[in-house]
Structure 1
């Protein structure tokens, strides 16, 4: 096995360990595309973990020393990434070599990664967002919408019009995470729900319990989230069959988290709401034979 192959294998391991929905969706792609999905996910995951769980990040994956503050480590990782992108044949950790190999082959716009790292850095200093527009345009632009942009060269769409739906789907996935992970984010001192929306409903996440105010606020967020999924779903027809199956499967699985949040009466405090792995495997198998179920979010 070459060092580059080892890097792609490590990227697949990181995706399977931390992003099972992306992993099983990507299994529907040809290997040449699948490993590029894993490479994009690995970059994003490593940066996110440096911010939120630096103790879990292996120096062998990032070439960043384990000491130092999260700010210093993120800045070092950012520099390492851009150095590798400028000099892809240099001496880099295997997973980084795979990441820059993928990005270079796919012709991904390097500007995407500036926006991404800027958003990761914002997590180290900003703990709340005043309005939905501020959250969407000031944070999710670089942490979610841009992920859709990064994935497009891998998915090989038929038309440039796929950009809008791809960005919307990136936002949809992340908003679902925000709604599911309220408890976890509170533990990190962050609230990703817009303060304006919380105040309008009189909802207080710091209570960590379901109240009528919390229910009405969450119902509004879920409705907003489904609008983003509807916009993202419109892009499926713009993708080749295998890419359509991959993205459609991830879309269905992630949107089912919203169903489970509703079924739990919006209780996101008593335990992390998940779609079981068996359901992910079953839908992936079904997609290969019958296609992705048609959905309606409107």
Structure 2
């Protein structure tokens, strides 16, 4: 799937080696948290990675479906006070930070959207639901751990999750097409005369840049809302989301600067730019 975007994704509960690289934006953002909150974030991260691994690499479809159903049962049992071993690390974070069962279930549902058939040109509503489940739901878990107030936290997760996920989609259009996936919305594709295209037909179309520009404008609007919410919140609870928003915005800027004409080189912000983001938002 197009890489899940949010302040937290990936790593199995028992494999320390599966934690993100020390150079990653996620790792840097989590280092800004007090130890108990960082531990909670890694527990959420581990859950997300485990479920994502099932969706991406869990074997034949019936096997993946059964395993995702087991994860749903494990979450329900966890909230009923009967945690299985693989979700034991979530017990304290749920109790301490009021994490919601519905958000964990939404993450599973988001992974399931990608697990059993390739997403190809979803309608706008389906794309938004996908972004909510694979990104904003993880954000809702995260902001409670960060300590953001409920109302502002839910709004922040909504906008930042979508900003990051749309950035990933734009960055990865060629890689996704090679895997027979296309996350650009069908309504915008129809605007340039593309109806039910294959992913490769879409990304090869000479006017695909018009579609990507519209998606980028939506991402930019979500970034603006993200920063407006962050500005209203105490700085001590927004260091991690600030760093993530600033780092991912570098990727969006790089994609926009590169443009959409083929051949499209894979973009990556410079280490100096990423270091500047880390220093600014990790210290201030």
From 275, 280, 283, the counterpart of 2:274: 280
Could you tell me whether the CA contact under 8 Å between 2:12 and 2:49 is conserved in 1? no
Q: Which residue, 22, 26, 38 being the options, matches 1:22?
A: 26
Match of 1:169 among 157, 160, 165: 160
Deviation per CA, 1:234-272, whole angstroms, max 9, x where unpaired? 221343323322111110101111111122223697554
Query: Over residues 101-122 of structure 1, what are the superposed CA-to-partner deviations in whole Å (9 max), with x where a residue is unaligned?
Result: 3223211121222222222222
TM-score (normalizing by structure 2) = 0.80
Matches within 5 A, 1:28-47: 28-47=32-51
The aligned residue for residue 66 of structure 2 is 72
Task: Measure the CA separation in 2 of the matches of 1:12 and 1:279.
Answer: 28
What residue in structure 2 maps to residue 240 of structure 1?
234
Structure 1: distance between partners of 2:46 and 2:23: 9
- Structure 2 unaligned regions, length at least 5: 1-10
1:53 to 2:57 alignment: yes
How many residues of Structure 1 are paired with residues of Structure 2 in the alignment?
A: 270
Q: How does 1:1-298 map to 2 (within 5 A)?
A: 13-17=17-21, 20-54=24-58, 69-87=63-81, 92-93=85-86, 96-126=87-117, 127-137=119-129, 139-158=130-149, 160-202=151-193, 205-207=199-201, 212-266=206-260, 270=264, 272-275=266-269, 279-289=273-283, 291=284
Q: CA offsets, 1:149-202, max 9 Å, x none? A: 111211212462332232111111111111112233223332211011112124
Paired residue for 1:62? Answer: none
Root mean square deviation of aligned Cα: 3.2
CA distance in 2 between counterparts of 1:224 and 1:253 reads 18
Tell me, what secondary structure is at the counterpart of 1:255? Answer: helix
Q: 1:210 to 1:260 in 2, by over 3 A?
A: farther
Contact 2:121 2:186 in 1 (8 A): yes
- 1:196 to 1:145, Cα distance in 2 relative to 1, 3 A: same
CA distance in 1 between partners of 2:210 and 2:41 (Å): 36
In 2, the alpha carbon distance for the partners of 1:11 and 1:170 equals 26
Q: What's the counterpart of residue 58 of structure 1?
A: none
> Do the aligned partners of 2:243 and 2:278 also contact (CA within 8 Å) in 1?
yes
Q: Residue in 1 aligned with 2:7?
A: none
CA offsets per residue over residues 201-228 of structure 1, 9 Å max, x none?
A: 2466414766540112111111111001
- Whether the aligned pair in 1 keeps the contact of 2:123 and 2:185 (CA below 8 Å) is yes
